[in-house]
Structure 1
Amino acid sequence: MALLKLALAVTELDSDELAGQDRDKEVSRATSGYVYVRSVSQPLTRSHPWSTMHLRFVDHRLTATADLDERIGDLYSRGRPLPEGMPILLDDGWRPVEPWLTYFRIVAASADRATLRAYAYDARRFAAFLDARRTDVIHATSDDIVAYREWRLNGSERPVAHTTWQRDVVVIRGIYQLLTQTGQIQREPWITIGKSSPLRTRWTSEPDIRPLTQSQWRTFREVGLGGRTASGDLDESWRGSTSLRSQAGAQLAVTTGMRLGEFSTLLDVEIPSSIDSGGSLLLEACAKYQKRRRVHIPLTTLRAVDLYRQTERRAVVRASAASLWRRRAELFIVDEIDMSAGVVRGRVDGRRSRWRLHQLPPRLRRIAVTERNEGLEALGLFVGRGGLPISRRQWHATFEAASRRTLDLAQAEMGGRRVRITPHDLRHTFAVVLLKSLTEVALAREAERRAGNVGPSTLSEHISINPRLTVQRLLGHSNPATTMVYLRYVEDTDALIQDVFESWSDEAMTFADAVLADRNAA
């Protein structure tokens, strides 16, 4: 089997992408620093309806060496301007596929690394599907688009939700915008009449909001993450060694509303030590769409983080200092942290680099270290066994295991909840609890005004105490409609319906009466 020396330095797929394939046909690196690739074939299945379609990502750490011939050296030098992490789609002959190469070069200029990788996998799936139908994006017809939509939603071994399909739509629309704007095709292959088109689905759904009650949260924290029994005793069979890290991360999520991609990339210096009050930090580079917002952290959460710092994190830092030192060539070595100016300075890839803390991108946060007497220490807050911050995948695995344990050991305490708890559920919990509390404050303020105890509210006061606007700002929502979804979860609808139908014997009571009675009783 012939080997192809790629002139563009690219990284291989994640290890789980290669699971189940012939290990003799995997990707292997040569000593020259380039990637040597053996062709990896995939059988035709309903899950992967293609034979050979490959995806790689630009990695400038795989540098060129002096023993290359002039032709390959020239190709490599021309490939250097490709953005770091940019996806490259390759056909079965290991040739870059156009127009996808141009598409990702344009998208990589503005999209963050995580979004870019997600688009890359979507693009490979779409391109491979068309390839299996003996066509491509330029020659595809409306029937091909419809067939792909039906396969994604109904025909594959793992059908996706309609919300997931919308991300596919973003990629499909994007590639056809490129083709029409560059004159490669005159128009998209589908016809749109009103709101109907092959890309649209007939059904729309709201986000699945699954907030936890206070009791459910405590049970999940203590039993699922903390290794206790439902009665609160220590579980002697518990073998977890990162309970405090897991609890601190979950508590940050539920009390601040941060997304997983936000709290998992926090730096230790960004979280103040617990004092007599809470603290705050500024998010930007790690926030969705890089939308800047300030996050407030309660005192109890700061104490949970401090406890983790002084125990589990300290032990990991001490154990990994020497191994990180041996890897220093591939890390971002920070030699100055100016907290008063919010600036970090250091060296990465042989070059000096200066960043404002809130603008430090996730890729550098995950490899940022500083020198200590014993070796190197990661700047990341939530570090793993190797000393660097744990990945999003590890956080999801932690929550998955904690959910199974909670539902197995404390089913009664969870109040009938049978679905697993995710990091985003904690964000939903923050939104619903805060929205309900702010609504009560606003109603109390309005009652005081009606009673004549306070004067008329000014416009600024209306804005400052508006529950929806406040929650929208704290969550970093760009669209007010996203925040509006949480409004229907402020009232305990299940309990309210139970009260109404149990009171059917009172024919004079209406649904509105039941709502008012419920509020008065509270």
Structure 2
Amino acid sequence: MIVNAWRVRATAEDFTLPPDGPPFDLQLLTVNRAEWLHEVGLEAGTPFLVSPVFEYDVVLNCFFQSPGMRMRAVSTQFGYARDLAAFLTFLWVSRRGRGWREATEEDHLAYLAWRRRDGDGPRTSGATWNREVAGVDAFYRWAVRAGHLPTSPIPQVARRPRVGAQLSRRTADEQRPATYARDAGTVRVEWLPPFSYRVWRDVGVRGFDVAGLPRLGFRARWAARNATFCDVMVRTGLRLAEQCALTVFEVPWWTPEAGAYVRFWLPQAVAKGSSSRWTYVPAAVLRDVDDYRRWDRAEVVAQAQAAGRYARWRRPWVAEEPGRPWARRVGSTSRVKVEHLGASERRLLLVEGPAGLEPAMLWLGEGGQPLSVSAWKEMFAASNRRCTAAGVLLACHAHMLRHTFAVVTLEQLQRGHLAALAEQHPRQREHYTRVFGDPLDWVRRRLGHRSVVTTLVYLHTLAELEMETRMALVPSGWDLPVDVVDETAAVA
């Protein structure tokens, strides 16, 4: 970690106090902290930046309380915060301790050269650079509008409207960063064929050897839970943050009458981009989730209840009736639907269980506490390390499972769609398409994409996969044997 770096932190409702008490009367600062946050307009979980000398810049951090930022998803807010912190760290370390107010266009161009062209730099891709520029540009646009700066250090050019594009939101004279990369158009989708996924899961997550047998010495305490978590991701296309935020209210229990798939509603409050949608889970995977809830989860909940861990939660939300998804904050008189609670609020949600209060979050860790996104990322990293140690040349991350779902599902739907259309006459095909729609649009809805243009990348992946299959059929030698025709004999 860079010592002289800007750091990203999250606004908390409570301070963590030492077990022996603070050295001074810190309780005065923590009394009614939640009410104080509400009075000053701060939301718990909002990111803020701290300078390398541990200073809190009030003006700079007002950016994260601006309307444009507060309407964005929490993950997007933290993404902007990290990209802005990286640029400010560059100013501090490489531009002689310069602050955000003193940044110039030359500083931005120097940052571009280091990020993309410097032999000792990170050499980021065009897509990554464009994302970073967008975050820093959003901050400086806000600072100029708010009157904190006369101009932005990010050079601008007029945005050209795309041919055939609607001009309702993007006008011909709208500005955009002049340093946007031109090589960001090509997107390489990383995904695993089903067989490769099973090998990665069994070796990396379950701890099996390459022969598919349990490996001696592997601690398999949470292998079943982790494998089930991955199976849910790869069979539903949920994002990591979305799946981490699921509660027992969303995910139903499996029943014999359920059929091949069971669907549940992903609420808008935890869906990225407010893309609330139906999520379809295969019955076999849901049965594994039930086993986890019935055994592993129930065990850690019982241990946490016996240790009184949930009683020490400060001002939790409580759903007093298990069958009714309504919650009330301790100390408040108003009730809120669970589906309206965000991810950070769900981490503090308790529900009345058979033996008392327990977390409503579905995925719990060893201590019976809700698992964080970072904890699951570490699980993927550890699984990749096990594959490497076992000689399995496979690696996977959470979003790769989402790509896998999209590619495999689209291929299956496309094949069935074309087969059905081939057996029908034109009028039947038109009716079939109207009723069942386009496979690409169906996958778009499952992924929560706003535009089918975003989903097209998976169709391109299928086209590339088909081309690889066709190329494999091309003979290795181009000089094919040809029978020599005896023209004289032919004339005779």
The TM-score normalised by the length of structure 2 is 0.80
- What secondary structure, in the 3-state scheme, does the structure 2 residue paired with 1:178 have? helix
Matched, 1:427 2:409: no
Which residue of structure 2 lines up, in the alignment, with residue 513 of structure 1?
none
TM-superposed deviation, 1:478:
1.6
Partner of 2:289: 305
Q: Secondary structure at the match of 1:268?
A: coil
Partner of 1:180: 144
Counterparts in 2 of 1:67 and 1:299: CA distance versus 1, 3 Å? closer
**Of 318, 325, 335, which residue of structure 2 is paired with 1:333?**
318
Are 1:59 and 2:31 counterparts? no
Q: Which amino acid aligns with 2:107?
A: D
Q: Distance in 2 between matches of 1:427 and 1:476?
A: 11
Asked if the contact 2:137/2:177 (under 8 Å) is kept, the reply is: no
**Distance 1:272-1:174 versus aligned 2 partners, 3 A rule:** same
1:206 is matched with which residue: 178, 186, 195? 186
One-letter code aligned to 1:317: V
Secondary structure of residue in 2 paired with 1:177: helix
- Residue equivalent to 2:107: 144
1:281 is matched with 264
Distance across 2 between alignment mates of 1:68 and 1:470: 54
Task: State whether structure 2 residue 302 is matched by structure 1 residue 318.
Answer: yes
Q: Deviations over 1:460-505 (max 9, x none)?
A: 8347331111111111112322211111222343332121243745
Whole-angstrom distance in 2 between the partners of 1:463 and 1:396: 40
Q: Deviations over 1:156-183 (max 9, x none)?
A: 6645433332332222221222133234
Equivalent pairs counted in the alignment come to 443
Deviation at 1:334, TM superposition (A): 2.4
- Native 8 Å contact 1:336 1:346 kept in 2: no
- Cα offset, 1:186, TM superposition: 4.7
Given that 1:337 and 1:345 are in contact with CA atoms closer than 8 Å, whether structure 2 keeps it comes out as no
Deviation at 1:221, TM superposition (A): 2.6
Q: Distance in 2 between matches of 1:87 and 1:68?
A: 24
What is aligned with 2:74?
113
Aligned partners of 1:271 and 1:281 also within 8 Å = yes
Determine the C-alpha separation between the residues in 2 that align with 1:78 and 1:294: 33
Q: Which residue of 2 aligns with 1:169?
A: 133
1:165-222 Cα deviation digits (max 9, x unpaired): 2332222221222133234445433444567955312422533312212211222232
Residue of structure 2 in register with 1:125 after alignment: 86
1:200 counterpart SS class: coil
Note if contact 1:83-1:108 (Cα within 8 Å) is conserved in structure 2.
no
**Residue by residue, what CA displacement relative to the aligned partner does 1:399-425 show, whole Å, maximum 9, x if unpaired?**
2222232344363xxxxxx35111111
CA distance in 2 between partners of 1:493 and 1:410 (Å): 29
- Specify the code of the residue in structure 1 equivalent to 2:264: L
> What is the deviation of 1:362?
0.5
Question: Contact between 2:248 and 2:361, CA under 8 Å: does it hold in 1?
Answer: yes
Q: Which residue of 1 aligns with 2:439?
A: 467
Asked whether the 8 Å contact 2:304–2:367 carries over to 1, the reply is yes
Alpha-carbon contact 1:333-1:370 (below 8 Å) kept? yes
Residue number among 431, 438, 453 corresponding to 1:481 in the alignment: 453
Does the C-alpha gap of structure 1 residues 158 and 331 become closer, same or farther in structure 2, counting only changes over 3 Å? farther
Q: Where do 5+ consecutive residues of structure 1 fail to align? A: 1-16, 21-41, 412-417, 509-522
Match of 2:171 in 1: none
* Counterpart in the other structure of 2:173: none
C-alpha separation in 2, matches of 1:344 and 1:292: 19
Partner-residue secondary structure (3-state), 2:216: coil
Structure 1 pair 407–335 and aligned structure 2 pair: CA distance change class (3 A): same
CA RMSD of aligned residues (A): 3.2
Structure 1 segment 383-422 matched on structure 2, within 5 A = 383-409=364-390, 411=392, 418-422=393-397
Specify the code of the residue in structure 2 equivalent to 1:405. R
Distance 1:457 1:482 in 2: 25
In 2, Cα distance between the equivalents of 1:197 and 1:214?
A: 41
Change (3 A) 1:219 1:65: same
| SS of aligned partner of 2:474 | helix
1:84 is displaced (CA, Å) by 1.8
5+ long unaligned stretches in structure 2: 17-23, 160-175, 483-492
Residue 415 (structure 1) aligns with:
none
